Amino acid sequence: MKIIWDYIVNQERARGNLRKIFTSAYYPPAILFTGEAGIGKEAAAFAFAQSINCEKKSFEPCGECNPCKSIANYDYPYINFIYPLPLGKNETGGDDPYQKLSPEIIDEINSAMEKKKPILTLN
């Protein structure tokens, strides 16, 4: 199984900063990945999450151990990935966004998340 670090291109500075965090063994409670669409923020976030949780204990995660696989499947209990949701019909500031989203929109969101899984650990 090929790990995604090799596919995060033109982000040497960001990758270097993440490597410094990894080698320091001090992990901040949160890391915010920002920037233009399509530059690899999500891929870098998943790769780093795998790096710090991999049983191999290497910046280059194995992709085979339970933590690596769980992270790739959005299933690791100690990591939260936060994504924006579209506004639901008649949604206000205090509403639970899932309660106001139609079943069709929820299906679209779930489908989009499923499509990303093969990208996270490339075979």
CA distance 5 to 80: 20
In this prediction the pTM is 0.74
Whether the per-residue pLDDT at 113 is higher than 90: the answer is no
> Would you say how long the chain is, in residues?
123
Percent of the chain past pLDDT 90, that is, above it, reads 20
Each residue of 2-35: b (16+ CB within 10 Å) or e?
ebbbeebeebeebbeebeebbeeeeeeeeeeeee
Nearest to 15 by CA among 43, 54, 51, 44: 44
Reported confidence tier of residue 77, pLDDT bands at 50, 70, 90: confident
pLDDT at position 117: 67
Q: What DSSP state is assigned to residue 26?
A: -
